[in-house]
Amino acid sequence: MMEEELIKIWQSSPNQERIKFDKSRLMIEVESSMDQFHKKIKFRDLLEQVAIVAVSPVFAYYAYSVPYVLSKIASVMIILWGFYVFIRLQNAKKHKPGTFTETYLQYLYKTREYLNVQKELLDNILYWYILPAMSIASIFLAGFIGVPGKLEYIVKTWLFGAVGGAAIYYLNKRGVQKELVPRLTKVDELINLMENV
């Protein structure tokens, strides 16, 4: 009964009031969705930072202690790559919109820009994350090729890394379609609604 009355009120209300209601409803949906998204990005970035902090001393030790030149070079490269990943994620975070200082429309423009930056980051993950990691890991493992009995370990480790890289690529592509594209669509919808009123 209550729902039918609301529908009647909605249908009898002036067009301007409906648009205001649509705007506020969509704005609440966008803000709620973005709050969830920010938490996911914050968690992802935290995991990456913890991994970089954990891996850097290990590979610094390898650069010092491993007797193979290729493995020493790759150990230093892994540390540098970790810092590159950290900087890349921090640069993406700079585009995060503030909610208190802007108008709704400015907030939406900045949200769209932030989502596009995150989308580009994930769309290109193969080139800035997976391939460099696989290449450096291959160089590291190549240092052990002449060591007796290590070839099987090297092949298994490389295959494990390749499967992991493929999984990371797939999950990020899926994340773009599942998390980013719907949010971008909602933000664009709300921007169009606000610009055309």
Predicted local confidence at residue 100, as pLDDT: 57
Alpha helices in the chain (DSSP H): 2-12, 15-65, 69-93, 104-123, 125, 131-142, 151-175, 181-195
pLDDT digits (tens, 9 = 90+) for 10-61: 455 554 444 454 556 667 777 888 888 989 999 999 999 999 999 999 999 9
Predicted local confidence at residue 165, as pLDDT: 94
pLDDT digits (tens, 9 = 90+) for 145-172: 888 888 888 999 999 999 999 999 999 9
Predicted local confidence at residue 157, as pLDDT: 92
Tell me if 170 is assigned to some domain.
yes
Predicted local confidence at residue 7, as pLDDT: 45
Say if pTM beats, i.e. exceeds, 0.85. Answer: no
Tell me if 1 is assigned to some domain.
no
Say how many CA atoms lie within 13 Å of 15 toward its Cβ: 1
Tell me if 78 is assigned to some domain.
yes
Predicted local confidence at residue 118, as pLDDT: 95
Q: Mean pLDDT score of the chain, rounded to an integer?
A: 85
CA distance 155 to 123: 29
Tell me if 117 is assigned to some domain.
yes
Count of domains for the chain? 1
156: domain range?
19-195
pLDDT digits (tens, 9 = 90+) for 50-89: 999 999 999 999 999 999 999 999 999 999 999 999 999 9
Tell me if 9 is assigned to some domain.
no
